[in-house]
Structure 1
């Protein structure tokens, strides 16, 4: 899974999938915490010694992990692992009929069995299919080990009623894991197809469709953004002189450099041909200029099969409240063409069209 806030490995720089997983984790954490406290309330005023300690700790763990994820102190996957580990240990312990537990009766499995399908489903919702399958398989085998120990050597050993309960419990768990694994594989295929539809196959950046969707999302949410459109200078001459294969590698190099300089929340898009678009969060003018200077300097330093000193013309536009995204793009595009008209290899701000913002780097 990628980290939110950057366009490091996938065109979905705004991370639809992780946002959905975060929402799922939040829902599971709240439901789990409320279930813990509700169980304790039902047992009151005579809760079992085990639950009197374990349930408040488990509720605190779930809510603490949720807070850590929302504050950015902990990423989603480690938090999900810790939450599932705590829940799994609690329900595994609950499979044994502890004295005075109220949940385990001779020759029967405890109410903990009801929650194991939830553990399996939660793993497949939060983790990649392969990790979810490993997690569920380990949980299943541990539960099977506890049940077999009770069935063979526990106080209710060789009980027919217990054997029937164990068989049903394990069969339901196995079917649940197989179903979730199948759905997880299908979901992975759908996500891969979705990513392919939004990703430029040559550079690996978001394609134009993905960029337009991101802009529409920002406009719908009323969030401001900075837009940078840039076009490689004299790119046709690169193709004519060195061949299209070298030109493709120049585009890949440009994508790599653009992606590496993105701030958190930024998205790099191949807008078409040798034209790129950067969707950035609001930045101070100095920070934006530093970013663009770094990109221009990196382009000028790189060497690709004899091509060196690559330059580009940049147009910058900052969204205004209520302004349609296509208008912001049009202003940035016009500023980029103004930079080309002024000699290329420069940065032109749409809001400051009369002010020279060009800072030449390298050969034009």
Structure 2
């Protein structure tokens, strides 16, 4: 159960970006391998087999790059390389089929793959760049169609035979681009909502002053452990800084805040990384010890007490604390456990402070 600030999560959009790009390139790699196998089996011409071999190697290299380097910048770089090579190849093949061969063999098999060039920019580019780059590719395709239609060397019968096919292709591309642009807008709105929800959830469970889990989070942890304990023990440490009001009255609340932050830092150094702890409220702090009996909890509390009392703490000088320790009993409620820990804490106060007592 993590209690210190966890490693920051990746931006949800970056997570989606990388996984989607990984899926696209993996599928493209598998498809190119299968197509190359068909080409070799059926004896396609040397040019097609060479082109498919290069395509397969390119997809394999990009896939390896993306798997090896997980950082956001590398995903963008892979996306750029994939988009540029796919768009350039597609435009060249379409130009060859339409204006060089003059559609003698139709628009070419590669024309079916042209819309794939629009996918990656909306994954890895910023919105304006994504729209600009994809519209540039579409404009180039449209320009070739216009050049085909106005060319004086292409027979009118050929133009008429292919006009319906070209119109359908362009309408398909417009539909595809419109969907991707709308999807990108909706996705970014969704991601902003997720980020806001994550931020609000984090802030709702953190103490703003110390950065530690707050009372709400501590109660959640206790609620998860106390009612379900069986053979495994569970202990709680509740402690209160001694004479904290005097610190505020003498040095001011700014110094008091510094003392609370310093206490949080001392706890972080004295406790194991996986130990749940936080600020209970005011100058009180709580430690939850799943799997620890009362003797072990007392030893942990003594370690924290010693660390707090071992030296001056900011301008307030030496600050001590009184500790109450208790072990939850089978069937006991969270409130009951906390009540006994609180009783032990105040017993430590009345016994002279700066000590650990168990209940």
TM-score (norm 2): 0.60
Equivalent pair of 1:261/1:295 in contact (CA under 8 Å): yes
Q: Specify the alignment match of 2:215 in structure 1.
A: 208
Provide the C-alpha distance between the structure 1 equivalents of 2:301 and 2:205, rounded to a whole number of angstroms: 29
Q: Specify the alignment match of 1:229 in structure 2.
A: 238
- Deviation of residue 145 (structure 1)? 4.3
Equivalent pair of 1:208/1:272 in contact (CA under 8 Å): yes
Q: Specify the alignment match of 2:59 in structure 1.
A: 55
Equivalent pair of 1:95/1:104 in contact (CA under 8 Å): no
Q: Specify the alignment match of 1:185 in structure 2.
A: 192
Give deviations 1:309-357, integer Å, cap 9, x for gaps: 1211245678899998777766765664554455322455x5xx8xxxx
Equivalent pair of 1:271/1:277 in contact (CA under 8 Å): yes
Q: Specify the alignment match of 1:112 in structure 2.
A: 116
* 2:178 is aligned with 1:171: yes
Q: Specify the alignment match of 2:201 in structure 1.
A: 194
TM-score (norm 1): 0.59
Provide the C-alpha distance between the structure 1 equivalents of 2:328 and 2:17, rounded to a whole number of angstroms: 33
**What is the SS of the residue equivalent to 1:45?**
helix
Provide the C-alpha distance between the structure 2 equivalents of 1:205 and 1:108, rounded to a whole number of angstroms: 56
Q: Specify the alignment match of 1:292 in structure 2.
A: 304
Name which of 300, 314, 322 aligns with 1:303: 314
* 2:102 is aligned with 1:93: no
Equivalent pair of 1:32/1:62 in contact (CA under 8 Å): no
- Superposed CA RMSD: 5.2
Q: Specify the alignment match of 2:102 in structure 1.
A: none
Q: Specify the alignment match of 1:7 in structure 2.
A: 4
**What is the SS of the residue equivalent to 1:96?**
helix
Provide the C-alpha distance between the structure 1 equivalents of 2:250 and 2:176, rounded to a whole number of angstroms: 70
- Deviation of residue 56 (structure 1)? 3.5
Equivalent pair of 2:206/2:214 in contact (CA under 8 Å): yes
**What is the SS of the residue equivalent to 1:46?**
helix
Structure 2 gap segments, 5+ residues each: 40-51, 95-106, 149-165
Provide the C-alpha distance between the structure 2 equivalents of 1:216 and 1:230, rounded to a whole number of angstroms: 20
Instruction: Please show how residues 20-35 of structure 1 align to structure 2 within 5 Å.
Output: 31=23, 35=27
Residues 52 and 27 of structure 1: CA distance in aligned 2, closer, same or farther (over 3 Å): closer
Instruction: Please show how residues 122-133 of structure 1 align to structure 2 within 5 Å.
Output: none
- The farther-off stretch of 222-231 and 273-282 is 222-231
- Deviation of residue 53 (structure 1)? 1.5
Provide the C-alpha distance between the structure 2 equivalents of 1:104 and 1:315, rounded to a whole number of angstroms: 80
Q: Specify the alignment match of 2:285 in structure 1.
A: 276
In terms of fraction of residues, the more helix-rich structure is: 2
Provide the C-alpha distance between the structure 1 equivalents of 2:198 and 2:278, rounded to a whole number of angstroms: 19
**What is the SS of the residue equivalent to 2:37?**
coil
Structure 1 gap segments, 5+ residues each: 66-77, 124-133, 354-364
- The farther-off stretch of 265-274 and 137-146 is 137-146
Provide the C-alpha distance between the structure 2 equivalents of 1:32 and 1:218, rounded to a whole number of angstroms: 43
Provide the C-alpha distance between the structure 1 equivalents of 2:136 and 2:128, rounded to a whole number of angstroms: 12
**What is the SS of the residue equivalent to 2:38?**
coil
Provide the C-alpha distance between the structure 1 equivalents of 2:22 and 2:267, rounded to a whole number of angstroms: 39
- Deviation of residue 255 (structure 1)? 3.6
Provide the C-alpha distance between the structure 2 equivalents of 1:25 and 1:325, rounded to a whole number of angstroms: 43
Residues 243 and 324 of structure 1: CA distance in aligned 2, closer, same or farther (over 3 Å): same
Give deviations 1:194-217, integer Å, cap 9, x for gaps: 333223344443221122224455
